[in-house]
């Protein structure tokens, strides 16, 4: 069960001030003298009835400080209590009963805060009916001529229509205010969820990048440093007994050290956030091909057929997939020839990378970070990623990406 709405967390504090202003205006109206001697015949209340009606009015005003938000029964009991207090004030309050139209407006306003739309409509209809009954009772207390009675009936009808329209206006206004408040609360909740989701995505992306760097260090730098350590240990053992052979192990250790340094530079280069920020796609690919040539001793055949300028997202995707593919070829393929084709069609863009290396069984080796990263990048732009390879034969990667 929700806690009752209290003064310090009332959903619309200005409504409390408005209620108090209406009650103050009604009280002033109640203590004002009758505008006409004819209305002076209105029966004055006894001291007991005056105390009861005044107490009822005070209790009704204080009830606005604590609105129920629990179950439906509590809300109904609260509203029935308000109606009883209004009836006491209207039927035995004497001059105080002049304020009864304002009390019904306050009743409808409070019902909008505690009920849904059906409950609000019921309270509005009850308020209008009670208004008519109270008005009819008050008018019967004045002895009037037939002509005056006819004018009073017209006045009663006009006042009833005016009050009914006022209740409808209050109901529509409160529904609009509450709907706007609910929309803002839902928007705030949605924004908070979106912010939390963005943080989770950012954390996930950071974690994936850390895993990629860790895998890169483990596969390249870790392997080179392990082999380097073995070479140095062997050279140390042979330094006294067989210096010439130890020298050969030191030469090999130096080569492994150079390879480890190259791997570090490659990893740092691969971690650049915007590889295409200051250069075109063709120039960036040319840099990858030059690095591949220095590392493997031959240059890939590259054919680029682009008629239009590509979006930056597609350029980055092509660059990263090509970079990862060339890295895998350098490490594992043992290839002597690589062919790269980038071809643009009216609707799609195709990237094809083929080597004549030893290949692999892609059905058993598709969980590596490199392949998964290329798949994820392709899916991110709505493309299709395919691998054609068998052990002992060539490997071909085909990536189809939509241009729209």
> What is the average per-residue pLDDT within 16-38?
61
Residue 42 has pLDDT above 60, yes or no: no
pLDDT tens readout for residues 171-218: 898 888 888 888 888 998 998 888 888 788 877 877 777 776 776 666
Q: Cα(64)–Cα(106) distance, rounded to whole angstroms?
A: 9
Q: Cα(44)–Cα(57) distance, rounded to whole angstroms?
A: 17
pLDDT tens readout for residues 223-255: 677 777 878 888 888 888 888 888 888 888 888
220-256 burial code (b ≥16 CB/10 A, e <16): bbebbbebbeebbebbeebeeeeeeebeebbebbeeb
The pLDDT value given to residue 249: 83
**DSSP characters over 45-65:** PPHHHHHHHHHHHHHHHHHTT
Q: Cα(230)–Cα(238) distance, rounded to whole angstroms?
A: 12
The pLDDT value given to residue 215: 65
> What is the average per-residue pLDDT within 307-312?
83
Residue 1 has pLDDT above 50, yes or no: no
Fold of 279-404: Heat Shock Protein 90 (3.30.565)
The pLDDT value given to residue 7: 44
Helix ranges (DSSP H) in 140-242 = 146-216, 223-241
pLDDT tens readout for residues 93-143: 555 555 567 778 888 888 888 888 898 999 999 988 888 887 776 666 555
Residues facing 301 on adjacent strands: 339
Q: Cα(56)–Cα(60) distance, rounded to whole angstroms?
A: 6
The pLDDT value given to residue 384: 93
Asked if residue 319 lies in contact with residue 281, where contact means CB atoms within 8 angstroms, the answer is: yes
The pLDDT value given to residue 240: 83
Which of 101-105, 253-257, 266-270, 393-397 is most confident? 393-397
Task: Please name the residues in contact with 223: beta carbons below 8 A apart, sequence gap of 6 or more.
Answer: none
Asked if residue 108 lies in contact with residue 167, where contact means CB atoms within 8 angstroms, the answer is: yes
Element at 339 (helix H, strand E)? strand 338-344
Helices 223-241, 243-270: crossing angle, 10 deg rounding: 160
Specify the range with the lowest mean pLDDT, choosing from 16-20, 143-147, 358-362, 371-375.
143-147
pLDDT band at 347 (very low <50, low <70, confident <90, very high): confident
Domain boundaries, the chain: 7-143, 279-404
Asked if residue 19 lies in contact with residue 64, where contact means CB atoms within 8 angstroms, the answer is: yes
The pLDDT value given to residue 35: 52
The pLDDT value given to residue 29: 58
The pLDDT value given to residue 40: 47
- pLDDT above 90 coverage of the chain, percent: 13
- Looking at residue 326, what DSSP letter applies? H
> Mean pLDDT, the chain, as a whole number?
78
Model-level pTM? 0.45
Q: Are strands 384-389 and 301-305 parallel, antiparallel or unpaired?
A: unpaired
């Amino acid at each position: 069960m929700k806690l009752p709405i209290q003064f310090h967390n009332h959903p619309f504090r200005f409504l409390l001030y408005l209620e108090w202003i209406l009650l103050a205006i009604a009280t002033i109206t109640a203590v004002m003298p009758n505008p006409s001697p004819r209305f002076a015949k209105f029966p004055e209340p006894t001291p007991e009835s005056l105390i009861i009606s005044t107490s009822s009015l005070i209790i009704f005003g204080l009830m606005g400080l604590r609105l129920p938000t629990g179950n439906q029964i509590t809300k109904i009991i609260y509203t029935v209590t308000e109606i009883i207090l209004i009836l006491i004030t209207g039927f035995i309050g004497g001059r105080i009963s002049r304020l009864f139209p304002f009390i019904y407006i306050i009743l409808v306003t409070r019902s909008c805060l505690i009920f849904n739309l059906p409950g609000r409509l019921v309270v509005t209809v009850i308020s209008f009916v009670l208004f008519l009954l109270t008005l009819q009772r008050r008018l019967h207390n004045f002895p009037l001529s037939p002509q005056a009675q006819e004018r009073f009936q017209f006045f009663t009808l006009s006042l009833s229509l005016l009050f009914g329209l006022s209740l409808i206006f209050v109901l529509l206004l409160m529904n609009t205010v509450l709907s706007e408040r609910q929309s803002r609360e839902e928007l705030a909740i949605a924004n908070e969820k979106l912010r939390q989701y963005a943080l989770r995505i950012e954390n996930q992306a950071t974690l994936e990048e850390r895993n990629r760097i860790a895998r890169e260090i483990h596969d390249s730098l870790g392997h080179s440093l392990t082999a380097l350590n073995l070479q140095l240990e062997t050279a140390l053992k042979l330094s006294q007994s067989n210096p010439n052979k130890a020298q050969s192990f030191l030469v090999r250790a130096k080569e492994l050290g150079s390879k480890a340094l190259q791997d570090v530079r490659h990893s740092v280069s691969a971690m650049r956030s915007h590889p295409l920020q200051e250069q075109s796609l063709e120039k960036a690919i040319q840099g990858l091909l030059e690095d591949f040539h220095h590392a493997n001793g031959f240059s890939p055949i590259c054919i680029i057929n682009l008629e239009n300028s590509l979006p930056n997202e597609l350029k980055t995707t092509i660059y990263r997939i090509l970079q990862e593919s060339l890295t895998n070829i350098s490490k594992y393929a043992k290839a002597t020839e690589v062919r790269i084709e980038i071809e643009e069609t009216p609707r799609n863009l195709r990237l094809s990378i083929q080597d004549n290396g030893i290949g692999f069984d892609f059905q058993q080796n598709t969980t590596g970070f490199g392949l998964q990263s290329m798949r994820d990048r392709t899916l991110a732009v709505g493309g299709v990623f395919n691998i054609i390879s068998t052990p002992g034969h060539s490997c071909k990667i085909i990536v189809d990406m939509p241009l729209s």
